[in-house]
Amino acid sequence: MADASALAAQAQTLLDERALDFLTPKQKAEFNKKQLDKAERKCREALKLDAALPVAHQVLGAVLEARGDLGGAAASFTAAMEAAGGANAEPATAAWATAASRAYAVLVRCAEAARPAWWADETLLALSERAVAALPESALAHTWRAELLSGLQPALPPRAAARSAEQHRAAAAHHQKVAALAPDKEAKKAAAAAAAECLTAATRAEKQPAPGAEDAEAAADEGAGTASSKNAAKNRKKKEKAKAKLAEKLLSEVEAAEGSAAAKAESKPAAAEGAAAAGGRTGYRWADPLPEGWVEALSELSIVAGAPVSQVDLQGMAAEGGPAESVAVGLIVADTVDVS
């Protein structure tokens, strides 16, 4: 009989499998429903064998979210959180941070979902900080942190204190990180717009440092609207235009940074080739530190950061585009030895 971990892995595989492109929309919908049904059964079987298995709760949450059952998904992600150590787990693990980030993301979208004990402003601020520390390259974790620091997400619990200009600026930086991690232009634009919103709020907080300052401008606009709706509308339009320009600027900064990183990555293989042509022999070492997403997989292969890359590993890389590809993604570094 399959153990709980194997069943959870099978459920994840079912969840990840996509319908073939040539199927009709109806056939795709039927295929997806069957996959979700089978994945849910696998998860529930796994939880019967081990009710404290974080990954089984996590995958079940993803299945329920895909079905549109956000309340059930929130409960499953929260259970995964608890199984991975709970809100007070030390140190915060990637499994805990993933479950916590997904629980938060579902809870802010579903007003009907039961709120866990940690659904309070100060606790959420602390948890979001720990999630980003455990998952520094997770867009979901950075979004959570940004929304807590700014307090601008309307589904959040009441704020324990008004947000400072410094907190709003920090929130903008997290949204910019989300923009850098985003897979497509639309997602980047949305994150840049959220960053612009936070920087605008920071300016307001600096001008009006009293408690409740973030709401003062909205109240002022409403009052102005009563006295002169035309002027109020004109002011709002002017502010929105300024905010849109700021969002465009922030998006340009993200894209410029990406272009610079890509150019730098492309120059590394060329530099190695140039050194070899000048009389050096190019060997390779594993990066130190290793890229975040590769650490676990490489440690299972007994790869040590900073160690020379073996000929066997280089042969394996040849099938994937050669060492230049691995250098470009920061997995290995060229090590030129003078042989002149």
d(CA 182, CA 253): 14
Among the listed residues 30, 36, 20, 18, the one whose alpha carbon sits nearest the alpha carbon of residue 73: 36
Which of the residue ranges 125-139, 219-233, 272-286 has the most confident prediction, judged by mean pLDDT?
125-139
Confidence grade of residue 332 (pLDDT, cut at 50, 70, 90): confident
Sequence-ordered alpha helix ranges (H) in 17-69: 25-49, 54-67
Helix, strand or coil, per DSSP, at residue 334 = strand
- The residue-averaged pLDDT of 144-152 equals 95
Which of the residue ranges 48-52, 218-222, 261-265 has the most confident prediction, judged by mean pLDDT?
48-52
d(CA 174, CA 144): 9
d(CA 98, CA 294): 17
Q: What is the pLDDT of residues 66-91, one digit of tens each?
A: 999 999 999 999 999 999 887 676 77
pTM here is 0.70
Q: What is the pLDDT of residues 160-189, one digit of tens each?
A: 889 999 999 999 999 999 999 998 899 999
| Residues forming a β-bridge with 335 | 283
As given in the structure block, the two tokens for residue 156 are 């959040």
- The residue-averaged pLDDT of 282-291 equals 80
User: What's the mean per-residue pLDDT of the chain?
Assistant: 82
Q: What is the pLDDT of residues 109-129, one digit of tens each?
A: 999 999 999 999 999 999 999
Q: What is the predicted pLDDT for the residue at 99?
A: 94
d(CA 244, CA 266): 33
Helix, strand or coil, per DSSP, at residue 335 = strand
Percent of the chain with pLDDT over 90: 48
- The residue-averaged pLDDT of 2-9 equals 88
Q: What is the predicted pLDDT for the residue at 340?
A: 43
- Given a contact cutoff of 8 angstroms between Cβ atoms, the answer to whether 18 and 36 are in contact is no
As given in the structure block, the two tokens for residue 153 are 């997400």
Rounded to a whole number, what is the largest CA-CA distance in the chain?
A: 84
Among the listed residues 45, 46, 66, the one whose alpha carbon sits nearest the alpha carbon of residue 54: 46
Find the helix or strand (DSSP H, E) in which 73 lies.
Answer: helix 70-83
- The residue-averaged pLDDT of 12-39 equals 88
- Given a contact cutoff of 8 angstroms between Cβ atoms, the answer to whether 126 and 90 are in contact is no
Helical axes 94-107 vs 70-83, angle rounded to 10°: 160
Domains and CATH numbers, the chain: 4-260 (1.25.40.10), 279-338 (no CATH)
| pLDDT at 103 > cutoff 80 | yes
- Given a contact cutoff of 8 angstroms between Cβ atoms, the answer to whether 145 and 172 are in contact is no
Higher pLDDT residue, 193 or 320? 193
Among the listed residues 3, 68, 64, the one whose alpha carbon sits nearest the alpha carbon of residue 36: 64
Helix H, strand E, coil C: the string for 84-146 is CCCCCCCCCCHHHHHHHHHHHHHHCCCCCCCCCCCCCHHHHHHHHHHHHHHCCCCHHHHHHHH
